[in-house]
Amino acid sequence: MRISSVGTAYPPNRYPQAEITQALAKRWEGKLEEPRILNRLHANCGVDFRNLVFPLDVYPSLIGFGATNTAWIKAAVELGELAVTRALDRAGITAADISAIFFASVTGIASPTIDARLINRLPFPVTVKRTPIFGLGCVAGAAGIARASDYVRAFPDQNALLLSVELCSLTWQDDDQSIANLISTGLFADGAAAVVVSGSDSALAASTQPGPRILATRSTFYRDTEYVMGWTIGDLGFKIVLSPDVPKVVTDNFLANVQGFLSDNGLTLSDISSYIFHSGGPKVLEAMETSLSLPPNALAPSWKSLSEVGNLSAASVLAVLEDYLVNNPGTPGTYSILAAMGPAFCSELVLLRW
């Protein structure tokens, strides 16, 4: 099994963080008890730029769940198609070569799902197997790769496609000036990523492309942590649940998870040459660095992604993965860990060998 390619796509409306902050401060004028808190929280998110699915002046007109979700469906199809096309082109295949699609998002809902709508736009086989995934949040990028690898393990001559589209700006809530929502509006952004995962007997797996092989995966569920992250969903749409305990949960659990996973595969942390981690935010990345005692710049691509495009929820770790494949593939024979954490609370680990 191998990761054959990654393709990303971002909306055309790109803004500096300060411009987004100013727009929200104006939009919420009279609702913020202390406007300087919004400025401070956004400045501390580690984000310099974000791409948004709409121009900033459009968002006040999107009122209620129906309007925002309808906008999400249209934009998710268009952005998802672009990410899929880029991933397929990089792999040198077409949609006709895909046997299974896994679709992950937590910022909108649709039935038929986005993957089904894409089958009507791209030449996927009518026999393609579809698995929509909703609710995993930030962890879904790594979990999606793991589930796609499960599929090609069972069907080693086939290729699977993972697509994540996250349009986090469509979850902004005008009537929620909680610290959690203020942080959310400064941290999360819009984007899509697609990954081609190939079975060991497929033509892609036998090619000379530099994609890493998937050796093992692990899911870990942390009991009684539902309060840490997620959504409450009501008439106005998705309202963020984001506890300040997120970094503590990472610190308390991540090292043992990684060490146990590596030990079961005959490895230790000293065997890992690179870390492909979800860009969850400064405190999350710092907690990962501290818990694993990582050397300086070990997570530089994750920090770079956070700064340049923000936290893309499930698509973030896939964007970091693309950076590795395109700009810094590992030396043949070296190992990497791909990891993300998200609602439940839970973690997903993927062991890769270049």
Catalytic residues: 138
From its phi and psi, is residue 85 left (phi > 0), alpha (psi between -120 and 50) or beta? alpha
Q: How far apart are CA 346 and CA 331, in angstroms?
A: 30
Pairing of strands 100-105, 159-167: parallel
Cα gap 315→102, rounded to integer Å: 13
Instruction: Beginning with the edge strand found earlier in the chain, give each strand of the sheet holding 272-277 in spatial order.
Output: 129-134, 100-105, 159-167, 190-198, 2-9, 213-221, 346-353, 335-342, 272-277
CA distance 165 to 107: 8
Cα 314–Cα 345–Cα 226 angle in degrees, nearest 5: 115
Nearest CA among 26, 301, 6 for reference residue 174: 26
Which residue type is seen at 151?
Answer: Y
